[in-house]
Chains A and B, each alone.
Chain A
Amino acid sequence: MKPVNELISDYSLRIGDTSLILGQRLGEWCGHGPILEEDIALTNISLDLIGQARAFLTYAGDLMKNKKTEDELAFFRNDREFKNNLLAEFPNGDFGQTILRQLFISTFQYYFFDRLKKSKDEMFSALAEKSFKEVAYHLRHSAEWTCRLGDGTKESKERMENAIRELWRYTGDLFFSDETDAELIKLGIAVDKSEVKKDWDKKIREVFEKAKLEVPAETFMITGGMNGNHTEYLGHILSEMQILPRSFPGAEW
C-alpha cells in the first residue's frame, strides 16, 4: 500500500480534477448564456469550482513525492492522468443538459462535502466546510431550473428527458470507490460514498418529482474517471485549456 500522504494526495486530486474540469466546461457558456442572469450564474459557478480546484490541487501537489504546483497539475498532465468523474467532462449540450449535469454533480458535492467536513485531515475539513457553502447555492440554482424546465413547456420537458437519457448512465461514476477510499475511510479521512449515494438518490427523486420528470430504472453504469479512463471528450477540453502554457511554458499574465 502507498504511504498515507500519497493516498491523501490522490484523493485530493480526484476532488480537485472534478471541480476543475466542470469549471472549465461551464466557462464555455461565458457570453453564450440564454439570458444575461444565467450567463452570470453559470460563470459564477465556474469561478467557485475553479477556486475549489486550485485549493485541492495545491494540496495534492504539496503531498506528492516530487512536489508539484497547481499549474503544473492543471496544465502539464495528459488525459489519462486526470482523475475527474466522467459527468464533469460531458459536453454542455443545450441549457437543459448543462443544468441537469449541474444538478447531478452539485447534489453529489453537497452531501460529499457535508461529510468531508468531519474528516480527520484538517485541510480537507476546512476546504470542505468552505466548498459546502458554495455548492449549496449551485444545488439550489440547478434544482430550481430543473423544476422550471421539467414542469415547463412541451419542448423544455422533452429536452430535459433527452438530457436524462444522455447523462443518467454516467451518474454511477460519482460514487466510484476503490482501495484509496477504503484505506482513508479506515483512518477517518475519507467519505463513504455509499452513504452519499443514499442522500443523492433521495434528493434527485425529490427534485424530479417536483419537476414531473421520471427517475430512470436501474441500469448499467459507466465508470472509470477516477482511474483515468475517460470519454473522448476530455482530450478536447484539455487541448483548449492547456494550449497556452504548453505553447509558451512559463508564460505569465
Chain B
Amino acid sequence: MEIEKKNIENIFSILSDIPDPEIPVITIAELGILQSVTLEDDIVNVTITPTYNGCPAMKAIADDIKEKLKENGYQKVNIKLVYSPVWTTDWLSEEAKEKLRKYGISPPGKSNLKNPISGDSEVTCPRCKSTDVKLVSLFGSTACKALYTCNTCREPFDQFKCH
C-alpha cells in the first residue's frame, strides 16, 4: 500500500511538469487539467478534464502524458476524460496567474456565474497594468482567450477568459 501510494505520488509529480501545449509557461497541473492518477497492477489510469469542450490541445496533452510515462518506464496507460467537476479558471493559483501575466496574457478574474453574459468586469493590461483597456474581440487565438488593446500603452494583448 505504502509503495503504491509513493508510486502514484511519483507519477503525479512527473506528469505535473508537462506544460500546456498552447501556453507553455503553465503546466497541465496548474491549469487543473490533470485531475488524478491511480494504479491497477501495471496499468496507470490518468484522469484529465477539458478546459473548453472543443479545445484541440486535449489530444496533444493526452499524447504528452503517454509519452512522458513511457519515458519513465510505464508502458500501459489509460487516459480517461471526465467532465465533472466542471473546469473553471478559479482553479488557477495566484502564482499561475502571475506566470500568465509575465508571459503577456492578462489572467482571468473571478468567474461570475450569476451573470455570465456580462463577461469579465475588470481586465488589466499585462504590460503596464492599466485598467483602461478596450475589447477587440471576445474570441482570440485559442478557445480560452479574448483579444484586447490597452488604451494607455497602446499594446494589444490576449486575455485568459474567465470561465
Q: Does A40 contact B (CB under 8 A)?
A: yes
Measured in the bound complex, the distance between the Cα atoms of B53 and A40 in whole Å is 17
What A residues does B137 contact at CB under 8 A? 37-38, 40-41
Cβ A47 vs Cβ B117 within 8 A: no
Contact of B136 among A37, A49, A123, A134 (CB under 8 A): A37
Minimum CB–CB distance for B71 against chain A, Å: 24
Cβ B163 vs Cβ A133 within 8 A: yes
Given contacts A37-B136, A44-B139, A130-B53, contact A139 B83 (CB under 8 A): no
Cβ B87 vs Cβ A130 within 8 A: yes
What A residues does B83 contact at CB under 8 A? 55, 123, 126-127, 130
What B residues does A85 contact at CB under 8 A? none
Q: Does B54 contact A (CB under 8 A)?
A: yes
Given contacts A47-B143, A127-B83, contact A137 B138 (CB under 8 A): yes
Q: For chain B, what secondary structure do more than half of its interface residues adopt (helix, strand, loop), or is it mixed?
A: loop
Measured in the bound complex, the distance between the Cα atoms of B119 and A123 in whole Å is 26
Which residues of chain A from 170 to 209 have any CB-CB distance to chain B below 8 Å in the complex? none
Measured in the bound complex, the distance between the Cα atoms of B137 and A239 in whole Å is 33
Q: What bracket does the count of chain B residues touching chain A fall in?
A: 20 to 34
Residue of A nearest to B86 (CB): A129
Contact of A131 among B53, B56, B147 (CB under 8 A): B53
Which residues of chain A from 26 to 58 have any CB-CB distance to chain B below 8 Å in the complex? 37-38, 40-41, 44-45, 47-52, 54-55
What A residues does B87 contact at CB under 8 A? 130
Cβ B53 vs Cβ A140 within 8 A: no
What A residues does B141 contact at CB under 8 A? 40
Measured in the bound complex, the distance between the Cα atoms of B56 and A55 in whole Å is 13
Q: Does B140 contact A (CB under 8 A)?
A: yes
What A residues does B136 contact at CB under 8 A? 37
Q: Does A122 contact B (CB under 8 A)?
A: yes
Which residues of chain B from 121 to 163 have any CB-CB distance to chain A below 8 Å in the complex? 136-141, 143, 147, 161, 163
What B residues does A48 contact at CB under 8 A? 52-54, 143
Given contacts A51-B50, A51-B52, A54-B53, contact A40 B139 (CB under 8 A): yes
Cβ B53 vs Cβ A51 within 8 A: yes
Measured in the bound complex, the distance between the Cα atoms of B117 and A130 in whole Å is 14
B interface residues (Cβ-Cβ under 8 A, vs A):
50, 52-56, 83-84, 86-87, 116-119, 136-141, 143, 147, 161, 163
Task: In the A-B complex, list the 8 residue pairs whose CB atoms are closest, starting with the nearest.
Answer: A51-B54, A51-B53, A44-B139, A126-B84, A136-B116, A41-B139, A126-B83, A47-B54
A interface residues (Cβ-Cβ under 8 A, vs B):
37-38, 40-41, 44-45, 47-52, 54-55, 110, 122-123, 125-127, 129-134, 136-137, 139-141, 143
20 pairs, CB–CB < 8 Å, chain A vs chain B = A38-B137, A40-B139, A40-B140, A44-B143, A47-B56, A48-B54, A52-B53, A110-B117, A125-B84, A126-B84, A127-B53, A130-B53, A130-B87, A133-B163, A136-B116, A136-B117, A137-B119, A140-B117, A141-B139, A143-B117
